[in-house]
Structure 1
């Protein structure tokens, strides 16, 4: 029996771990004819439908999430028309709750597998192939004689039984490879489905470490761990971090979702020795309001979190991503602004300003009426307003979030923003920037990088009282750090470097300069060096704390990390 498991990703660079894992588990259990197919929500629905129909499969299973649910519903309806005799089943977190209601709303679907799917899928496929009784399949909601029937949930599987589902990594080197070394979470956050399974199951290290070795050997770009609180088991996480550091290939990055308050001296000491770029941490702060944290059942030691963040930032070798959630219980606009400023002051490389999603099946779904939380009825179930945060205020926060994404999280405006934020509150500044754009006629359309620089220059000079020449030089510094300048924004129009052409050429032609400042390019022709690096002369010493008005030549070496990309050089 030919079976297709369809995984529909949010982006092309993602991989469908669930679809791949289910297919690999079925093969491991001796069930042939099962194959995973991957698509993205950005593909035309007709192209996906055509690919699925061309398989003429006996059974189709869709892996369902918030991001692909609407597309899955459309595909299922059309696929049922095209393949009236095929069995069609759904699975995944999007369809694991309120299942009977979902099944009644999709008459073309034969059944839904709830929760963890490996063993239930195998039992289902065996029953379909043999004509067996579906009531013996665990975790299944299905139609029987016009009635919705539901079987008991399957017991959680042992993680050692999970197969490695990336036998061939050749085509995935530039994609994000998802991996799990554990399931479940020890914490009880009311907005998260992972908190429903309080028992944490871990895959044995004797299986995990060799699998991670495959990723390193293949040189994949990034491995993103799906473990909800990766460092909840100190020995488990330390063993993995040590292994990855010892076998670091100098390229692959590993992303972990951690609770920073659990990091102690030994962990911090180990992490301080990691190669810059080897690890990336996502840390969910969500709020600093103690009443809000209690309402969502989230423990937090904010003073220790600040201490840990300070240590990690001091090391400067791990990309730090902090999360905030707007729309949580008991958090009003002013409280959220305080949470924002508090988290921003910790200096993350990225600050993710998210919005509460009232997920079906979560405790938050039950608590929502208590706090006056009203959310969208359809995915992504995002909050619309609460008793403490109005719809207008939430839309204002959406605008702030857009400014944070464009200007802060992009990393392309770091020096300019740092200057503009001196002595100012971060939340108020991003809010004022958003209002400035709207008052200037911006209607929300996507803006080019050069246009964003122009808006920031105008905002800085008109609203922040910034000195135009200095602000322009800081913008140019940010541009040069991103890459060799090509098209400059309008705010830098008229900048004339003609008098420096000959000194710049002379700098590159001098062997002493090449040996001292560009030792990694030994033997390279000076003309080639001018093309692959960049030398710019500034009117201010921008790398000094006081940014004195003094001529300063900066050499940008784009083979180096951005933090070490610019160095002062002498220029006659």
Structure 2
């Protein structure tokens, strides 16, 4: 039995990323809610403090946590690398004020950097590595019973002053085994897409593709999906009981199995609820599903983000993207033909680009003709294969809070940072302000598409201006920075897969292969 006197506070720390600070809308922290559901069902007293609202200052976060006086504080953030410095500061101040508080930290960054975190942040007691529903529940049960943590797989902590880990946690094969603790939030506070009441969900976890720079693939270890009918039923319930209108998919690849994705779309259509769906996927899946894209639209899909990454086939092969330029273009065309907005994300910095390369990138994106565009800066993660290829490149941004894909972090030998910014902002402006894009933002005949285009223009211009002003006045860059390896440490690529793949025990395992 769980100890009902063990009070747990889940904390979503404030984030400093530009994209999180500019929009006036806020999405709920799915990771923490996913941890909260199993803890509530086990009888623990659980509350959530979402410090992204405001956002709260560190002083206010500390004050509120101390006022609530939990026995255990659990922290995590979807932008875990750039949020880590803030997490460290909050934990240090809380531990000074209340040494007996047990602090548990989870997320992608601490999963891989657990040794450094435990060495440098004495205020943090335990790290949950990998997906956390089962591990966090077992951890809390062990703490409540006063048991040794060595018997809980998926943890890292200090023993006799040394950082130790308890082995990989076994991945959750049945994603319907644990529920999301939606009751921990006030749905009226969360919105997206122009004021629509919103939630973040996961239909699947993981991705079978081998993109060398991806910081998420190894965290989930294997692609799995939820039961399509049960998942559709949950979304319909959120709409009927809480008025949720916007569903934001956090999946890397929700469409990974055509069979499962089609079953979900058909189940959601049968629920007959007015929902709007946005998410990310691969261009190849859109091309694969050309004959069922009408189901996407009927189910409420209004936008898919497509990772274009580069105009160069050689670069796509180098980073193991597993895609082609022609496939990317066809996916955008198909989405438009079915009244679905395409957002193209394009990453700069994989190679030492010149002015000529940026010019080719602009021409390439104009030929693609996406509805929306977002340029990102390559940001190496220590646990990815890509890290080794840039380990010797100098770092120009030593503030880890800005390792968020929206700040330049790596030095470039051919172009100065200001010139890179000029190209990036010019490409975004030209692509978004070309006549076709303006028509879709001002006069598109589909009202849902028109609303999405106008919302993105309003938000995008504020982010665009904020990025330029911050670069000019609060950039914090250095000309003589350390190398990537000196800044973060040796590669952890050998530890990329965070979860152990369990032996099949007669369980119905939903994987990409089993899903069709």
TM (norm. structure 2) is 0.73
Distance in 2 of aligned mates of 1:276 and 1:156: 30
What's 1:152 paired with? Answer: 167
Query: Can you give the 5+ residue segments of structure 2 that lack an aligned partner in the other structure?
Result: 1-5, 15-19, 443-460, 471-516
Give the C-alpha shift of residue 244 in structure 1: 3.3
Are 1:358 and 1:375, in contact at CA under 8 Å, matched by a contact in 2?
no
Give the C-alpha shift of residue 257 in structure 1: 0.9
Q: SS of the counterpart of 2:277?
A: strand
Greater relative CO (CA pairs within 8 A, separation 6+): 2
Aligned length: 421
Are 1:358 and 1:365, in contact at CA under 8 Å, matched by a contact in 2?
yes
Question: Are 2:249 and 1:225 equivalent residues in the alignment?
Answer: yes
Give the C-alpha shift of residue 334 in structure 1: 2.3
Question: Are 2:416 and 1:403 equivalent residues in the alignment?
Answer: no
Distance in 1 of aligned mates of 2:202 and 2:136: 19
Give the C-alpha shift of residue 333 in structure 1: 4.0
Per-residue deviation, residues 508-538 of structure 1 (Å, max 9, x unmatched): xxxxxxxxxxxxxxxxxxxxxxxxxxxxxxx
Give the C-alpha shift of residue 52 in structure 1: 1.1
What's 1:35 paired with? Answer: 47
Distance in 2 of aligned mates of 1:401 and 1:91: 37
Question: Are 2:340 and 1:335 equivalent residues in the alignment?
Answer: no
Per-residue deviation, residues 202-221 of structure 1 (Å, max 9, x unmatched): 11223212112123324323
Give the C-alpha shift of residue 37 in structure 1: 2.3
Cα 1:16/1:443, change in 2 over 3 Å: closer
What's 2:265 paired with? Answer: 241
Cα 1:241/1:333, change in 2 over 3 Å: farther
Question: Are 2:113 and 1:112 equivalent residues in the alignment?
Answer: no
Q: CA RMSD in A?
A: 3.3
Query: Can you give the 5+ residue segments of structure 1 that lack an aligned partner in the other structure?
Result: 417-433, 447-572
Aligned pairs for 1:197-216 within 5 A: 197-216=220-239
Per-residue deviation, residues 304-339 of structure 1 (Å, max 9, x unmatched): 332232232233x21211110010136544234323
Question: Are 2:420 and 1:394 equivalent residues in the alignment?
Answer: yes
Are 1:289 and 1:335, in contact at CA under 8 Å, matched by a contact in 2?
no
What's 1:385 paired with? Answer: 411
Distance in 2 of aligned mates of 1:160 and 1:259: 24
Cα 1:134/1:198, change in 2 over 3 Å: closer
Give the C-alpha shift of residue 68 in structure 1: 2.6
Cα 1:346/1:143, change in 2 over 3 Å: same
Are 2:373 and 2:428, in contact at CA under 8 Å, matched by a contact in 1?
no
Distance in 1 of aligned mates of 2:336 and 2:130: 38
What's 2:83 paired with? Answer: 68
Q: SS of the counterpart of 2:34?
A: helix
Distance in 2 of aligned mates of 1:294 and 1:388: 23
Are 2:287 and 2:334, in contact at CA under 8 Å, matched by a contact in 1?
no
Cα 1:255/1:362, change in 2 over 3 Å: same
Distance in 1 of aligned mates of 2:427 and 2:369: 17
Give the C-alpha shift of residue 106 in structure 1: 0.9
1:362 to 376, 379, 384: 384
Are 1:326 and 1:353, in contact at CA under 8 Å, matched by a contact in 2?
yes
TM (norm. structure 1) is 0.66
1:376 to 384, 390, 397: 397
Per-residue deviation, residues 143-166 of structure 1 (Å, max 9, x unmatched): 122221221011101212131332
What's 2:139 paired with? Answer: 124
Q: SS of the counterpart of 2:332?
A: helix
Cα 1:340/1:352, change in 2 over 3 Å: same
Are 2:199 and 2:247, in contact at CA under 8 Å, matched by a contact in 1?
yes
